[in-house]
Amino acid sequence: MKSMTHFETPPILITGMSGGGLSSAAKVFEDKGYYVAHNIPPRAIVDLLKLCNQEETPVGKVAAVTDVRSRMFPGSLLEIMDELTELNMKPTVLFLDARDDVLIRRFDSVRRTHPLQEGDTLKVGIQRERQAVAEVRSHADIIIDTTNLSIHDLRRAIEAAFGEMQNAKQHVTVESFGFKNGSPRDADLVVDVRFLPNPYWVPELRGYRGTDEPVAHYVLSQPAAQEFVDNFLQMFSTMLDGYRHEGKNFITLGVGCTGGHHRSVAVAEAIAARLRDNDTLDVSTLHRDIARG
Contacts of 272 (CB under 8 A, 6+ apart): 172, 174, 283, 284, 285
Q: Which of 189, 173, 186 is nearest to 97 (CA)?
A: 186
Binding residues for GTP: 67-70
Binding residues: 67-70
Q: Which of 224, 223, 251 is nearest to 236 (CA)?
A: 251
CB contact at 8 A, 51 and 2: no
Backbone angles phi, psi at 143, to 5 degrees: -115, 125
Name the amino acid, one letter, at 128: R
Laid out side by side, the sheet with 189-192 consists of 189-192, 250-257, 170-178, 281-287
Distance between CA 161 and CA 175 in Å, rounded?
Answer: 10
Q: Which of 262, 276, 176, 177 is nearest to 222 (CA)?
A: 262
Contacts of 41 (CB under 8 A, 6+ apart): 66, 70, 71, 73, 74, 75
CB contact at 8 A, 219 and 263: yes
Distance between CA 166 and CA 3 in Å, rounded?
Answer: 20
